[in-house]
Structure 1
Amino acid sequence: MTSPTTDPTLHPPAHRGPVSLARSVPRLSAFFAERAPARVYVTYAVLWVLALQGTLAVLNPAAGWRLGAPLLAEIVSVYLALLFIRVVDEQKDLEYDRRYNPDRPLPRGAIDVAELRAVMALIVVAQLALNAWFSWPLALLMAVDLAYICFLVRLERWSAVVRERIFVNLLVSYPVQALLSVHVWLAFREATGTGPATDALLAAVLCACTFMHYEFARKTGARKVPGATLYSNAVGLRASVALTVGCAVAALGIALAVIRPWELNGAAALAGWLPLTAFGFIWGGAERFTGRRTPTWPPGPAMGFLAWCYLGVFVAALAVVRPGVGG
Structure 2
Amino acid sequence: MTPSSVTRPASRPRPADEPRSVARSALRLRTFFAERAPTRIYLTYAVLWVLALQGTLAVLAPESDWRLGGSLLAEIATVYLALLFIRVVDEQKDLEYDRQYNPDRPLPRGAIDVVELRAAMVLIVVAELALTGWRSPLLAGWLLLDLGYICFLVQLERWSARVRDRIFVNLLVSYPVQALLSVHIWLSFRQATGTGPVPDAVFGALLCACVFLHYEFARKTGARVVPGASLYSNVVGRRGSTALTVGFALGAVGLALALVRPWELHGAVALAGWLPLSALGFVWGGGERFASLRTPTWPPGPAMGFLAWCYLGVFITALVVARPGFGG
TM-superposition CA deviations, 1:60-109 (whole Å, max 9, x none)? 01101000000000000000000000001111122222232222111222
Give distance in 1, aligned partners of 2:67 and 2:129. Answer: 23
**2:293 alignment counterpart:** 292
Give distance in 2, aligned partners of 1:232 and 1:142. Answer: 33
SS of equivalent to 1:257: helix
Q: CA deviation at 1:13?
A: 8.7
SS of equivalent to 1:188: helix
Would the alpha carbon gap of residues 186 and 274 (structure 1) be closer, same or farther in structure 2, given more than 3 Å must change?
same
**1:52 alignment counterpart:** 53
Q: Does 1:216 align with 2:220?
A: no
Q: CA deviation at 1:313?
A: 0.3
Describe how 1:1-327 pairs up with structure 2 within 5 A: 15-16=16-17, 19-327=20-328
**1:7 alignment counterpart:** none
Contact 1:259/1:317 (8 A) holds in 2:
no
Q: CA deviation at 1:17?
A: 6.0
Q: Which runs of 5+ in 2 are unaligned?
A: 3-12
Would the alpha carbon gap of residues 49 and 290 (structure 1) be closer, same or farther in structure 2, given more than 3 Å must change?
same
Q: CA deviation at 1:18?
A: 6.4
Q: Which amino acid aligns with 2:236?
A: V
Give distance in 2, aligned partners of 1:161 and 1:174. Answer: 16
Give distance in 1, aligned partners of 2:229 and 2:260. Answer: 40
Would the alpha carbon gap of residues 199 and 13 (structure 1) be closer, same or farther in structure 2, given more than 3 Å must change?
farther
Would the alpha carbon gap of residues 168 and 42 (structure 1) be closer, same or farther in structure 2, given more than 3 Å must change?
same
The aligned length equals 318
Give distance in 2, aligned partners of 1:107 and 1:154. Answer: 20
Deviating above 6 A after TM superposition, structure 1's stretches of 4 or more consecutive aligned residues are none
TM-superposition CA deviations, 1:32-87 (whole Å, max 9, x none)? 00110000000000000000000000000110100000000000000000000000
Give distance in 2, aligned partners of 1:161 and 1:291. Answer: 34
SS of equivalent to 1:222: coil
TM-superposition CA deviations, 1:115-169 (whole Å, max 9, x none)? 1111100101111121011000000000000000000000000000000000000
SS of equivalent to 1:273: helix
Would the alpha carbon gap of residues 307 and 65 (structure 1) be closer, same or farther in structure 2, given more than 3 Å must change?
same
TM-superposition CA deviations, 1:8-44 (whole Å, max 9, x none)? xxxx997456642211111111110011000000000
Q: Which amino acid aligns with 1:59?
A: L
Would the alpha carbon gap of residues 152 and 18 (structure 1) be closer, same or farther in structure 2, given more than 3 Å must change?
farther
SS of equivalent to 1:146: helix
Q: Which amino acid aligns with 2:303?
A: A
TM-superposition CA deviations, 1:196-230 (whole Å, max 9, x none)? 11100000000000000011111111112221211
SS of equivalent to 2:46: helix
Q: CA deviation at 1:244?
A: 0.6
TM-score (norm 2): 0.94
TM-score (norm 1): 0.94
Q: CA deviation at 1:263?
A: 2.5
**1:9 alignment counterpart:** none
SS of equivalent to 1:153: helix
SS of equivalent to 2:134: helix
Give distance in 1, aligned partners of 2:307 and 2:142. Answer: 25
Q: CA deviation at 1:264?
A: 2.3
Contact 1:87/1:116 (8 A) holds in 2:
yes
Give distance in 2, aligned partners of 1:108 and 1:239. Answer: 35
Contact 1:19/1:115 (8 A) holds in 2:
no
Q: Percent identity?
A: 75
TM-superposition CA deviations, 1:227-252 (whole Å, max 9, x none)? 12111111122211111101000000
